Copies of this chain bind each other. A is one copy, B any other.
Amino acid sequence: MDEIDDAGIMTSRTPPLVTAPQKRLKRSDALAARIRDLISQNGLSPGDRIPQKWLEDEENRASKGTVREAMKSLETQGLIKSRTGPGGGAFVTALSGDQAIGLLNNLFLFNKPDIGDIFALRKLLEPELVLSLAGKLDEKGIATLQATIRLYDNEPQTAQDAFQQTIAELDFHAVLASLAGNQILGFVCVFLQSLLRDLTDINADPEQPFAAVAEAGLPYQVRLVRLLKAGDGAAAQALMRRHLEDSERFLLGHASIRGRARIRT
A263 touches B109 (CB 8 A): no
Which B residue's beta carbon lies closest to that of A82? B26
What per-residue 1/0 map shows which CB atoms of A207-245 lie under 8 Å from chain B?
000000000000000000000000000000000000000
The CA-CA distance from A150 to B35 in the complex, in Å, is: 35
Instruction: For the complex formed, measure the closest distance between the CB of A14 and the CB atoms of chain B, giving whole angstroms.
Output: 8
List the B side residues contacting A182 at CB < 8 Å: 114, 117, 120-121
B47 touches A264 (CB 8 A): yes
> Oligomeric state, in number of copies?
2
Instruction: For the complex formed, measure the closest distance between the CB of A186 and the CB atoms of chain B, giving whole angstroms.
Output: 10
A179, CB-defined interface residue at 8 Å: no
Say whether, besides A17-B171, A121-B188, A104 and B110 are in contact (CB < 8 Å): no
Partner of A150, one of B15, B111, B171: B15
A106 touches B117 (CB 8 A): no
List the B side residues contacting A114 at CB < 8 Å: 182-184
- What are 26 A-B residue pairs whose CB atoms fall within 8 Å in the complex? A15-B150, A18-B98, A32-B76, A45-B261, A46-B264, A69-B72, A72-B73, A76-B77, A77-B106, A78-B106, A79-B109, A94-B111, A95-B106, A97-B107, A103-B104, A107-B187, A111-B183, A113-B184, A114-B182, A117-B183, A117-B185, A120-B185, A121-B188, A124-B124, A124-B128, A184-B192
New contact pairs (19) apart from A72-B76, A104-B104, CB-CB < 8 Å: A15-B150, A18-B174, A32-B76, A46-B110, A73-B73, A76-B77, A78-B106, A79-B106, A97-B107, A111-B183, A113-B183, A114-B182, A117-B183, A117-B185, A118-B184, A121-B188, A124-B124, A184-B195, A188-B188
Residues of A within 8 A of B (CB): 15, 17-18, 28, 32, 39-40, 45-47, 65, 68-69, 72-73, 75-79, 94-95, 97-98, 100, 103-104, 106-107, 109-111, 113-114, 117-118, 120-121, 124-125, 128, 148, 150, 168, 171, 174, 182-185, 187-188, 192, 195, 261, 263-264
